[in-house]
Amino acid sequence: MGSESKVEERVKDFLNIYDVIVKFECVDDLRDDIRKALRVLITSQYNNLCFIHQSEQRIPKDNLDDLWLPQDLYIQLKDQMIENICSRTSPHPEFFEVKKDVLNALDSYKELYLIYKKLQY
C-alpha cells in the first residue's frame, strides 16, 4: 500500500533486532535503549490506528498505561472503517488490500504491545 500503509515502517526492523537481542540474552543490558525505541514505535503504530480507537494522538513521553489492548482494537474494527479509508484514498484501493494492511498494522501493534508489557517488569 506504500505511503498510505497503516503499518509503521520501522516496526519490522525493530522486531528483527529485538529477536537478536533476545537470542543473545542482552535484554537486561539494553533494556533502557529498547524501551526508548519501543515507546517511539508503539505510539506511532497506535496513532496509525486512531481511526479505530478514536483517542487523542500520543507522543513517546505520554503515559502508555491506558493504551488499548490489541484484542480490543481487533474487536472494534468494522468494515465501515475500511470502506472509509478506501473512499478517502485516490485512486481507490481494493477493500481487501486495505483490510489486509490494517490487520498487519494491528499485528504489528500487538507485537510491540507484548514487548512493552514484558519490559515493564
Which domain covers residue 55, as residue numbers?
7-119
**Residue 1 scores a pLDDT above 90:** no
Asked whether residue 75 is assigned to any structural domain, the reply reads yes
Residue 34 domain-assigned? yes
Q: How far apart are CA 38 and CA 82, in angstroms?
A: 27
pLDDT tens per residue, range 58-110: 999 999 999 999 999 999 999 999 999 999 999 999 999 999 999 999 999 99
pTM: 0.94
Higher pLDDT, 90 or 38: 38
C-alpha cell at 64: 502508555
The dihedral over CA atoms of 52, 53, 56, 62, expressed in degrees to the nearest 10, equals -120
pLDDT digits (tens, 9 = 90+) for 41-61: 999 999 999 999 999 999 999
| Predicted pLDDT of residue 4 | 87
Number of domains the chain is built from: 1
Supply the DSSP symbol for 97: H
Asked if residue 20 belongs to a domain, the reply is: yes
Q: Is the pLDDT of residue 2 over 60?
A: no
Residue 1 within any structural domain of the chain: no
Q: Is residue 93 part of a domain?
A: yes
| 100 close to 3: Cβ distance less than 8 angstroms | no
2 in a domain, yes or no? no
Widest distance between CA atoms in the chain: 47
Q: What pLDDT score was predicted for residue 121?
A: 72
38 in a domain, yes or no?
A: yes
Give the pLDDT score at 95. 98
56 within domain boundaries: yes
Mean pLDDT within 24-34: 98
